[in-house]
Chains A and B, each alone.
Chain A
């Protein structure tokens, strides 16, 4: 029975669930592991065996589910792939659990799943296990997606937020603030025409080239919720170092600056979904930067600061006019203001 909206019955586990899974999930995500339709996906480890395995999980509840440059599905795949890439792992397989709200248009679900398939192909990963539940109207904001991701960490790769050392150079892969604003521009009560698309993208290709460039990369992180400033604070805390950045060096596009001026937001605290910050040993600065700039998602990579041991856990920014100010973590949610 074909219905153009998702009904509670689609989550019951019976005929309608099976049909939905076949007609939507298998059709778009099709791969041999998923097609086996067992309760779990089973695969043989690569040979010679991986030294280490990386495992991550994430939940996606973004609203609206479609925004300029992406949707919740693309976000889910890229976000999970990026978590794996940030520890230097080669991403392999993802799972995707869906909680659907009764009344969700089926066409919207199809659109999201097709987008996940495309993102998976772009990143070179397969979605091999999934689950679908349907909750009553009001029980979910159209759609929530939970993922897990598995990858293999090559020998010799030692990347962690705790490994940053005084003397390290901080490199940002590109302009910040795009994703958060793209989503906000569609939020009721705030609508504005934001000309930029979300930067949502899989970064494993970029990371792979960076690792090949040679020279120790100590830490990689993607500045998602809370923005660049929050991420830098997390790392400074984990590694017990001080990070000094230069406001003049941080790439921010004109459109992002304009939107932030208008809404009273700070681009350093706006979420990104296709950017990373890398902390590398001084000798690695040149080769890594050059490798990044040759890649699609690192073309505007720039050195934004350095690591010292002055005040462990602190992030300091040299402003446009040479004054220094402390950059804190984001508290709560950044809200548009008029004052």
Chain B
């Protein structure tokens, strides 16, 4: 099985890379959407709402198929990796938007009013008061989303990206060592997700202490 290790290393790296980039874009999209929803900006609010419903009610696999097989037919072509990242960002953005939005809503209204009373603008309110406090409310949900999105990379197998799951499938075909291959696969995900999970629990505690001293 040791011949297979380099493949696993690459697969691990691909999984991490695509998940990482996808998550970063998901965070950006999520932040934008949640700010729009919080301030109830006209027109954009409706667009965001439609986006959220569509992204959350369709499977990632279909989104990927549509991006990878469907769009080229009308002239828009993305590489597999690009499709993966776009799909993850599209899906992940909606989940992040939800988490950030509820984090912002959890910041007490009296804090926001106190900020208004000293003359802060909406941007200043968001930057100095709402977001710093929303972060500590958002960390648990944010962590759960990250774990979810990393797991979703397994779906990339459907469009021939060689992340962990797809690599394993092929290796099983080449080496016929089903049990070992699948064990490595599970270990692969554990390597990524266990440390992440521990880190997020630590982060949660740390941020809560910094904000509220408990």
Tell me whether A and B are bound partners. Answer: no
